[in-house]
Amino acid sequence: METTLFLFGGIIVLCMLLNRYIDKLPTPSLLIFILLGMLFGENGLFKIQFDNYQIANDICTFALIFIMFYGGFGTNIREAKPVIVHSVLLSTIGVALTAGITGALIHFILGLSWIEALLFGSVIASTDAASVFTLLRTRNLNLKYNTASLLEVESGSNDPMSYMLTVVFVSALLGSDVSVPLMLFKQISIGILFGVAIAYGAAAILRRVNFSMAQGGTIFLVGVSILAYALPTIFEGNGYLSAYLSGILLGKMYFPGKRDLTRFYDVITNLAQVMVFFLLGLLVTPADLPNTFIPALIIMLILTFIARPLSVYGVLRPFSCNLPQIALVSWAGLRGVASIVFSIYVVLAGIPLTYNIFDIVFCIVILSMALQGTLLPKMSSLLNMIDDNVDVRKTFNFYQEEININFNRVEVPETHPWAHQRIRDLGMPPETLIVLIIRNKNNFIAPSGNTEVLPGDRLVIASKKFENRANLSLREVPITSDHNLKDKQLKDASQYLNEGELIVLVQRGNENIIPAGNTLILEGDTIVVAQFE
């Protein structure tokens, strides 16, 4: 147990430390974490033996719940509205077409039986939301014609169709007596029913219940995410569809604490993606990959240059989408974690297949990320699909939480220079605005220029907030009785600071002091330190 925890904690620490450097590489960061997992694996430097498909499946499924939920929660449906029909058709009919074309060509080229070939096509038919979202955000791909929104909704919503097709062909290969139309109907209808019901029920609770513990709403919604997958699955519905749909509906609703929830899910899904890709790299046996590399390469080429382009063209061309957009959407069909998870599901079903489906899909994912992911920014530029007047961040719900406004409180005692002055005479900076006056605790005033500020008022001031940059950050340091800076003048403080640090503010009680060289730092002060990298 201790060894497992050591490995788990060490992986998280290592991945987080490397992440800031990996993001600067031209290749998708998630590909690096797969390769890192292989480095730790049984054929790598650290020789860690891990071949438990069941544990891997459980961990990946659990992680995929949050990835799917946040994929819906983080998508700005208002921005995606012009292309929502295109996206839904791509994630349903497009996935079915991709699976069918890929399966047919696998049958004729590699000689697999029809059902086995269509199973392979179904497992790899969906695009990877984690990879697409990451590339759009980290590479700042501001695309024309709402293409970013189209890709986000499609990649976030097409896993359920791929999963349903996989279940159908696994059942067929197992010889199960199932009705395909009935299975698809149950998967879709139950998934939609639970997704809608859970989303509206959770929103109603979040609006009405005041959780007694800090971040109770966030913890509550973690449980909701899991239920959104588990409940429909129990009733033979599609849990991934339910989780994604409940995420979409909750993402466009208002409820208290949504900002904290968004930040939490952003962190937890990033961690889930990193851990899953590392785990999958650990699970694979690199020594076995050469045996399946050629068929994997053939399938990847079929998928990338024939099946995906034909299905995208067939879906988007009737909407009069131009060829550059169709070409870019086709190229952006990266394979990823969902396809590997579905391949593990097939392995656990115990079906004898011509090729090891996990190894095949693993190779396809690596090739897809390495080729399509690395060249996606270049392809966007070559196809003239970049629009500098578009901001890709607006396609995510969290963008509205990043509006550059901060609210501050100012108490006005009798001796304050603003007391008994009208707001228009205060000489406020142009980007600073008094938005609310609280007078006598229960009297709330929306001020105008003629409003007089009285002693005892509490002013709420809106101003542009400072955002930490990659090379500059601010932090607060409390001065305790044993702190090195206690009773030191600012001019002597540099020897106690790290290189690139500067004290920019001293907070003393209710007073904010802009420090000078002779400013004395006292016990109980809080200093604000700017750090330059």
Q: Which tens digit of pLDDT belongs to each residue from 130-160?
A: 778 778 877 778 899 889 889 988 988 888 8
Q: Which helix (H) or strand (E) holds 438?
A: strand 432-439
pLDDT over threshold 70, residue 290 = yes
CA atoms of 119 and 170, how far apart (whole Å): 7
d(CA 222, CA 504): 39
- Comparing 13-17, 130-134, 237-241, 401-405, which segment has the lowest mean pLDDT? 401-405
Q: What is the pLDDT of residues 204-250, one digit of tens each?
A: 888 888 776 667 778 888 899 999 999 999 998 889 889 989 998 99
pLDDT per residue as tens digits for the range 158-172: 888 898 899 989 988
Kindly tell me if the per-residue pLDDT of 327 is higher than 90: yes
| pLDDT, tens only, 119-128 | 999 999 999 8
Secondary structure element (H or E) that encloses residue 435, with its range: strand 432-439
Task: Average the pLDDT over each of 233-237, 284-288, 319-323, 500-504 and give the range with the smallest value.
Answer: 500-504
Q: How far apart are CA 19 and CA 278, in angstroms?
A: 13
Report whether 332 contacts 132 (CB < 8 A). yes
Q: Which residue from 513, 407, 525, 526 is spatially nearest to 458, judged by alpha carbons?
A: 407
Q: What is the mean pLDDT of residues 76-91?
A: 87
Q: Are the CB atoms for 417 and 476 separated by under 8 Å?
A: no
What pLDDT is stored for residue 196 in this prediction?
Answer: 95
pLDDT score, position 119: 96
What token pair was written down for 418? Answer: 């603003």
pLDDT of residue 179: 75
CB-count exposure of residue 475 (10 Å: 0-12, 13-18, 19+): exposed
pTM: predicted TM-score of the whole model, two decimal places: 0.75
Mean pLDDT over 19-38 rounds to 76
CA nearest neighbour of 56 among 337, 360, 361 = 337
Indicate if the pLDDT at residue 101 is higher than 60: yes
Q: Name the residue with higher pLDDT: 134 or 470.
A: 134
Q: Is the pLDDT of residue 34 over 70?
A: yes
pLDDT band per the 50, 70, 90 thresholds, residue 367: very high
Report the C-alpha gap between 116 and 291 in whole angstroms: 19
In 74-179, where does DSSP find H-type helix?
A: 77-80, 84-89, 95-110, 114-123, 129-138, 147-157, 159-174
End-to-end alpha carbon distance in the chain: 40
